[in-house]
Amino acid sequence: MCKKKLKSNENYLCEVCYSYLMSNSKLKKNKNIYYIYVYNSQIKRLLSDYKLKNRKYLGNILARIIEKKIQYIILKKKIDVVIPVPISKERMLERGFNQVEEFLKISKINYDEIIRIRDTKHMYMLKNKKERSDNVINSFQINLDLKNKNILLIDDILTTGATIEEIIREIKKKYETGKIYIFSFATTTKILKRGREDGN
């Protein structure tokens, strides 16, 4: 994460970076969003390497960080259904795995799947929230019984929130649900600022 050369006994993360992750891994909450880290250059490098550079083994580190926290949310909020944000078939062919499903599997957290029916542009290629929102409209198919269920949506990064908002919109088109919560490994200061402006 820090771009320094690793020692012979280190694997991807140096002792300093690993210590940084662990010492800052407290579960945080903003409105209905749970998260661990504020998205910065170090976290960006970690997650980009994990899902875009064939470093699937990093899922073990992420699972170690998130496992007990997600279990805590499930119990505290009486979650009925855990749903990871899906990726398209095209993206699955590129990466070979869904990065969110992977750390849930390692953590042995049961989840239900929804389907991404459109291959959308990479979000980092889009400049603003409107472009990101337009990018994911009508992208998800939901074939689950979610009536009166408390739902936990899980993603690795929450940037503008466009993808999560579109999934919630699609869910609410079809079902009267219980509460909907979000868990993200990292979230941006924009999302946190929006929560403060909403009075949280």
At 77-130, the pLDDT tens digits run 999 999 999 987 888 888 889 999 999 999 999 999 998 875 554 444 445 555
pLDDT average, residue stretch 123-142 = 58
pLDDT at position 197: 46
Contacts of 44 (CB under 8 A, 6+ apart): none
pLDDT at position 199: 41
Sign of the CA dihedral running 25, 84, 91, 192: negative
> Whole-angstrom Cα distance, residue 116 to residue 138?
9
pLDDT at position 195: 56
Residues in the chain: 200
pLDDT average, residue stretch 7-12 = 88
pLDDT at position 130: 54
pLDDT average, residue stretch 145-151 = 96
Binned at pLDDT 50, 70 and 90, residue 162 comes out as: confident
pLDDT at position 123: 45
Q: Tell me, which fold does domain 58-197 have in CATH? A: Rossmann fold (3.40.50)
CA end-to-end span of the chain:
31
Binned at pLDDT 50, 70 and 90, residue 137 comes out as: low
Better-predicted residue by pLDDT, 60 or 90: 60
Q: Bridge partners of 37?
A: 186
pTM: 0.86
Q: Where do the domains of the chain lie?
A: 58-197
Tell me the three state secondary structure of residue 30. Answer: strand
Please give the DSSP secondary-structure letter assigned to residue 151.
Answer: E
